[in-house]
Structure 1
Amino acid sequence: MNDLRAIADRIEIEALRGEFSDAAMMSDYDRFASLFTDDAVYRIPDADIEQTGREEIRAGTERLASEWEYFVQTTHPGAIQLDGDTASGRAYICELGRLRDGSSVFNYALFHDRYRRTPDGWKFTERVYEVRYFDTSPLAGSPQVAWAATHPPAGDESS
């Protein structure tokens, strides 16, 4: 892997996967949807969810997020197979949170991804969520005041 383009592509795809978790946790649904191509498909088979296209992905994600009191998702690096202007890969996920009904969720999962290079950078064309471990034991912790509510983003001097 001495090809600089391949190295840059891998870094950009990894950044895309991190941006996904950040947009989800920051409830930035427009940014979340912008990470997908116009014709993308987002699936969560265990929850019988399939969303097609940016508008449906945005609306569906906002609807799902409204069910959470709090939600934490971390993305861990996985495999990436490059094929010109397309790629496929897997990202490993750890999530926990509490739903508004009081139930808790802790799980490990992975995303099976397909990506496409666009004029705006790499985007998801398909993202399929596969749960590998699922636990509904009550979480002992509690949510804390969001850092973003009390601290402006780095470089933002407007506050």
Structure 2
Amino acid sequence: MNTQNIVERLDALESRFALERLSAAYNQAFDNRDEALLRSIWHSDASLLLGDAFGNYTGIEAIIESAHKNWQQMPYMHHWMANPLIDIDGDGATGQVALHALVTHVELGPVQISGLYHDRFERRDGRWAFTERRFELHYLTPLANWKPVAGTEAAPQT
């Protein structure tokens, strides 16, 4: 049995789990307004490219500033990501993951957002993190007459 092959395979599996966790951490950070978690998933020179709808940001401080702006415009966010495709090449990786989000926008009300994230990751000093996350918006649409009737975000019943 080739020990090097096992080590490479184990590294690939551990790396894939680490990269999938970065996407999940991104969701949790935005949904829970967790600035510390959001800071932890980027390399210092990373870019978050959300396009015309949400803006483009380079560097952790700019990314955090964008989060605060988005939290003001969309006080409730619920991100779901699915169908990750990740390709790992040594200490670099690329990926795509589909997004579906429900948010409450201060001007538009309940909104559904769909798109695709195109990701670049690097492992530096043993730590995987985003170097670039680019969002391809498929649609953003207000949800007329949509109202939660139960749960933590439902309006109290009168």
TM-score normalised to the size of structure 1? 0.83
**Contact 1:34-1:54 within 8 A present in 2 as well:** no
* Residue 19 of structure 1: how far off its partner (Å): 0.8
Q: Secondary structure at the match of 1:27?
A: coil
Note if 1:133 corresponds to 2:147. no
Distance 1:120 1:110 in 2: 27
- Counterparts of 1:1-159 in structure 2, within 5 Å, are 3-47=9-53, 49-119=55-125, 121-138=127-144, 140-142=146-148, 144-145=151-152
Q: Structure 1 60/50 Cα, relative in aligned 2: closer, same or farther at 3 Å? A: same
**Contact 2:57-2:66 within 8 A present in 1 as well:** yes
**Contact 1:14-1:77 within 8 A present in 2 as well:** no
Of residues 87-96 and 128-137 in structure 1, the stretch that sits farther from structure 2 once superposed is: 128-137
5+ residue gaps, structure 1, are 147-159
Q: Secondary structure at the match of 2:137?
A: strand
* Residue 32 of structure 1: how far off its partner (Å): 0.7
Distance 2:21 2:110 in 1: 29
> What amino acid does structure 1 have at the position aligned with 2:105?
L
> What amino acid does structure 2 have at the position aligned with 1:79?
L
Q: Structure 1 126/139 Cα, relative in aligned 2: closer, same or farther at 3 Å? A: farther
Q: Structure 1 27/139 Cα, relative in aligned 2: closer, same or farther at 3 Å? A: farther
**Contact 1:97-1:105 within 8 A present in 2 as well:** yes
Q: Secondary structure at the match of 1:64?
A: helix
Report Cα offsets for 1:32-68 as digits up to 9, x if no partner: 1221110001011132611010011011111111111
Identical positions, percent: 25
Distance 1:139 1:97 in 2: 14
Q: Structure 1 47/102 Cα, relative in aligned 2: closer, same or farther at 3 Å? A: closer
5+ residue gaps, structure 2, are 154-158
- Structure 1 moving runs of 4+ over 6 Å: none
